[in-house]
Amino acid sequence: MPSHTLKVDSVQLEFDGRKILQDIYLDCSTGEIVGLLGRNGCGKSSLLRIIFGSLNCSYRYVSIDGHHLQKGYHNNRIAYLPQHNYLPAGIKIYKLAEPFVDPLLWDEFCRQPAFKLHQHKTVNQLSGGELRQLETLMIICSHADFILLDEPFTHISPVQADDLKILIKQCAKTKGVIVTDHQYYNVLDVSDRIILLDNGCTRAVNSAHDLVTYKYLSGI
């Protein structure tokens, strides 16, 4: 399996003259899980959407293996799990999954209870947690080389979160994963490396004490 590297640099984002993102550098290679932490409103989701290509900003440089990407989602290079539900209503889940999931991962995907138990239902027939699990699973098993997960642990139970962490680690054997969530302990648990978004800048976090230093945590 060839190795790829995603690089994000010089992102500048402003809302009403207020600088949200200004000094950003982020890289992620296939086989790696990068955790992205930050306070509410610091621009984590915006940064992921900029990388994905669904949010425009003043300036951005996103590349994979040195090749500039105009839109991250073109040619299935990057997949993104948004905070909201994204599956179209009124269509059977197996019909939605077939064109979406990577054929190489199809057997593994079909074994997952989140799909197996609900494949003949539509999204309206699932609970919030079941739908979140399914949507996350579909993103993880999509064609993309890089996976951006925005709050994948929200709306799911602790046991399901543990299962999801195993799945994310499996996925990271062949893909690069960037994950962000306010359940920082789950992010710390699953990630190989942590980046903190603070005042529009990315900061490398070497130990949990750094999170206290940067005032993301009040104490450990």
Binding residues for another protein (CB under 8 A): 52-54, 71, 73-76, 79-80, 82, 84-91, 95-96, 98-100, 139, 142-144
Cβ contact 188:196 at 8 Å: no
Task: Output 1 or 89, the one with its CB closest to another protein.
Answer: 89
Task: Output 34 or 139, the one with its CB closest to another protein.
Answer: 139
Task: Output 62 or 211, the one with its CB closest to another protein.
Answer: 62
Task: Output 79 or 195, the one with its CB closest to another protein.
Answer: 79
With residue 187 as reference, give the H or E element that holds it. Answer: helix 184-190
Q: Which residues contact 82 (CB under 8 A, 6 or more apart)?
A: 45, 49, 150
What's the closest the beta carbon of residue 25 comes to another protein, in angstroms? Answer: 25
**Spatial distance between the Cα atoms of 216 and 40, rounded to a whole number of angstroms:** 10
Surface-to-core class of residue 4, CB atoms within 10 Å of its CB (0-12 exposed, 13-18 middle, 19+ buried): middle
What's the closest the beta carbon of residue 158 comes to another protein, in angstroms? Answer: 27
Regarding beta strands 78-81 and 18-21, do their DSSP bridges make them parallel or antiparallel, or are they unpaired?
A: unpaired
What's the closest the beta carbon of residue 199 comes to another protein, in angstroms? Answer: 28
What's the closest the beta carbon of residue 161 comes to another protein, in angstroms? Answer: 22
